Amino acid sequence: MWKLKIAEGGPELVSLNNFIGRQHWEFDPDAGTPEEHAEVERVREEFKKNRFQKKQSADLLMRMQLRKENPCGPIPPPVKVKETEVVTEEAVITTLRRALSFYSSIQAHDGHWPAESAGPLFFLQPIVMALYITGGLNAMFSPAHQKEIIRYLYNHQNEDGGWGFHIEGHSTMFGTALSYIALRILGEGLEDGENRAMAGGQKWILDHGGLVAIPSWGKFWVTVLGVYEWSGCNPLPPEFWLLPNIFPIHPGKMLCYSRLVYMPMSCLYGKRFVGPITGLVQSLRQELYNEPYHQINWNNARSTVAKEDLYYPHPLVQDMLWGVLHHVAEPILTCWPFSMLREKALKAAIGHVRYEDENSQYLCIGSVEKVLCLIARWVEDPNSEAYKRHLARLPDNYWVAEDGLKIQSFGCQMWDAGFAIQAILSCNLNEEFGPTLRKSHDFVKASQVWQNPSGDFKAMYRHISKGAWTFSMQDHGWQVSDCTAEGLKVAILFSQMSPDLVGEKMETERFYDAVNVILSLQSSNGGFPAWEPQRAYRWLEKFNPTEFFEDTLIEREYIECTSSAVQGLALFRKFYPKHRRTGDRQ
């Protein structure tokens, strides 16, 4: 039976706050009663039966476990009000007590509320592919893990045989090809799956142009696997990391999320790395194309993308750039003496990967980047401590529910806790739910980032983080403007309450640190971006290399982040009116 573990460490793991906020699933074949096993199977079958109507899981396995661990006593019966009946204050308070009683019962012992943060159908499959390449698949994923991955992929296959970009989406080549390949790696045959689901997936791929029509991120992964060729990919030259900082298209000016995708990608592209050509890889070369593999025009394949995936078609100027890099720059850079420049660029790129690994405790900024950094470090040294530490942190990324095992972008522990706490406080039932509030206050205090990234972080294109809150937990290390603002709000609200009820308040200096982070992120137009200060020109989006995302290459301001920041700063100013008044009025 699957068990959710909270705030627990393990071999090869390092934490800055004793793993507060960590959540990961383990399989224990001896856990659970026969009745619990039967209930788990029932909810799994119920999800499968309704999977085309209700595609999002309800976290029932987590709820079953936490409610058993957190008995909250009897929950008041629901209040029923007729249409013509007046809603009384007593009825509202009873309803709030019901909600808060239930919500307290699914709080983890370290104070946060565990929850799934998944949905995209391109997080899980690259991890399966990477572990297949490194030979670590069976070591990391037991038969129980693999069974739940297979369950998840079949549960989210569309009725037309394909898989979407995310679980609610129409079928795409990206989602379908990656899911089909992952299932084949996990042992599924060409005729396997309910109603020949695998055959349906293969037919969808071939009917929509074959694997040549997969978008750029997909081309990268199937190339690394050995089912596609590097000559069919647009260049990812690591030499970009050697450009002077004043250069307008320097990768240090990119949105951090994009920067940390293309950083390890450029390491693998620069080495033209390809995994072992196994019998399965050779079979996939035959299964996924409409023509013999050796006859494919890889140059044409570079710009071939299925219409179902083409959300953002490349502008002409971008295609011209790729053409020059592919036909002119790459042949030069791979020949001596220019190949010496490539070696220098590869060292610079892998240096940035190492820095990200070490400053995020090998969590990395998100699961897309996590697996890319993992395989880049394995290619650098298959026996390295870095690779072992990456493997040890993989459980932080996956989540188990009634629909199977999926991969999260990263956890949402702090984000969810910030809003949950504000909701509870607004009910004005604090005395009744003191233990819930005290635990959540402890979590907030333990989740604030206490230090900036290590060393000369500006040279590594990082921003200050001391005083910030992340989207997930302190170990993640990446400051986010609205998460910091929401964390500041709840910390200040707790500071105005009795310590006997919610515990000791945070030190005032830590409030100041949070304010410093928020103000440092504000743009010249008054708005607030999410991760880092806005550094690049808007026209750089013309060179966004992805076909399925728009407006992802540079950081920009958001109403949501700006709203949270303004609210957090306004609340802070109410209690600390003299702090940094000069020059910060805007």
Catalytic residues: 482
Phi and psi dihedrals of 259, rounded to 5? -55, -40
Rounded to 5°, angle at Cα 142 from 139 and 143 = 140
Distance separating alpha carbons of residues 331 and 113, to the nearest angstrom: 53
3-state secondary structure of 348: helix
Distances (CA, A) of 344 to 264, 337, 349, 428: 15, 12, 9, 61
Select from 378, 408, 404 the least CA-distant residue to 395.
408
The interaxial angle of helices 89-105 and 434-447, nearest 10 deg, is: 50
CB within 8 A of 114, min separation 6: which ones?
4, 6, 23, 62, 66, 106, 108, 413
Tell me 79's DSSP state.
P
Bridge partners of residue 171, in order along the sequence: 164
Say how many C-beta atoms besides its own lie within 10 A of residue 4's C-beta. Answer: 18
Say how many C-beta atoms besides its own lie within 10 A of residue 55's C-beta. Answer: 18
Residue showing tokens 């694997």: 211
Tell me 306's DSSP state.
-
Residues 517, 484 contacting (CB under 8 angstroms): yes
Distance separating alpha carbons of residues 260 and 254, to the nearest angstrom: 9
Residues 546, 311 contacting (CB under 8 angstroms): no
b/e map 337-356, b = 16+ CB within 10 Å: eeeeebeebbebbbebbbbb
How big is the chain, counted in residues? 586
